[in-house]
């Protein structure tokens, strides 16, 4: 009797373990099935920096790519502690900056290095300006940039070389909206890789001309590096401000529209020229 009782108990324990495992498996399957559909990391639908706390198809794609590199993450589209740890581990093993944030360089590395710049556009310099402006707006990769939409950020693009750089709200007279951006979820906050209006046109013109023709010193200098035209064409710059003192600049694309870095909370985007305020004039390099 004792032997039979012992066997019965063992069978009951085994059956219970199988049932529990079955519940866990079902939950895991349901969890994976409910994850947002994956979105390519370098798509314009994904933010420039994918980071802790975000939930999206971009995170689903991230988790799948990390698992291909040896991680063992539940693919649920939720950037939690385990995903952050896996990102840091990947960054460390691939000699990237270990910050747990999936920015352009980490995206490009995870994507197998496929985020390469497209062939340079052909045609006149003016047409190249438009081509590059539209490509950046769409989040395409460019030289020194792995791809992804670029947010507005105060003094972004004012580094030694043209291209996105860290925002800096400014000790005084900076961007009030930048100072109130308290989390990495808010576009244009202090330290985020970004572009401001003059940083954007500087980068586009450097790509189109093959050299840094506008420089890092902002609209006040850029307006003097160009000459005013009475009949603007797509690719010209449009400056805005008070009197002859500019505070904003965009790239005119025709039809009363421009591509610009408007303000905190916005990506590089197409806006009506009227969004910039008082027009000082249209200028050409």
Q: What would the pLDDT profile of 186-218 be if each residue is shown by its tens digit? A: 778 887 788 999 999 999 999 999 999 999 999
* The CATH number of domain 125-284, selected from 3.40.190.10, 3.90.1720.10, 3.40.1160.10, 3.60.40.10: 3.90.1720.10
- 1: exposed, middle or buried (Cβ count in 10 Å: 0-12, 13-18, 19+): exposed
CATH 1.10.101.10 fits 37-115, yes or no: yes
Q: Are 188 and 175 in contact (CB under 8 A)?
A: yes
In tens, the pLDDT along 24-63 reads: 333 333 355 588 999 988 777 888 899 999 999 999 999 9
Q: Are 103 and 186 in contact (CB under 8 A)?
A: no
pTM, entire model: 0.67
Within the chain, which residue ranges are assigned CATH 1.10.101.10? 37-115
Strands (E), 38-144: none
Give the residue among 195, 187, 84, 87 at the shortest CA–CA distance from 142.
195
Within the chain, which residue ranges are assigned CATH 3.90.1720.10? 125-284
């Amino acid at each position: 009797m004792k032997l039979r009782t012992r066997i019965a108990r063992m069978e009951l324990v085994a059956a219970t373990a199988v049932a529990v495992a079955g519940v866990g498996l079902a939950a895991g399957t349901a969890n994976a099935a409910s994850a947002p559909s994956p979105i390519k990391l370098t798509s314009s639908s994904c933010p420039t920096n994918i980071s802790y706390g975000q939930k999206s198809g971009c995170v689903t794609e991230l988790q799948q790519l990390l698992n291909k590199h040896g991680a063992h993450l539940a693919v649920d589209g939720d950037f939690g502690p385990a995903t952050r740890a896996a990102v840091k581990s990947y960054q460390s093993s691939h000699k990237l900056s270990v910050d747990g944030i999936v920015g352009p360089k980490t995206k490009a590395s995870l994507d197998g290095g496929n985020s390469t710049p497209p062939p340079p556009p052909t045609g006149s310099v003016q047409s190249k300006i438009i081509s590059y402006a539209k490509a950046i707006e769409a989040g395409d990769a460019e030289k020194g940039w792995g791809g992804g939409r670029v947010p507005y950020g105060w003094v972004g693009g004012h580094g030694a070389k043209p291209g996105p750089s860290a925002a800096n709200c400014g000790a005084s007279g900076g961007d009030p909206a930048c100072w109130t951006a308290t989390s990495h979820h808010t576009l244009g906050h202090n330290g985020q890789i970004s572009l401001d209006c003059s940083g954007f046109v500087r980068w586009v013109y450097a790509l189109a001309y093959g050299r840094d023709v506008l420089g890092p010193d902002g609209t006040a200098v850029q307006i003097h590096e160009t000459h005013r035209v009475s009949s603007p064409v797509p690719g010209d710059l449009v400056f805005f401000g008070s009197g002859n003192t500019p505070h904003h600049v965009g790239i005119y694309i025709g039809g009363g529209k421009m591509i610009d870095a408007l303000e905190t909370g916005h990506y590089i985007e197409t806006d009506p020229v009227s969004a910039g305020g008082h027009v000082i004039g249209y200028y050409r390099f």
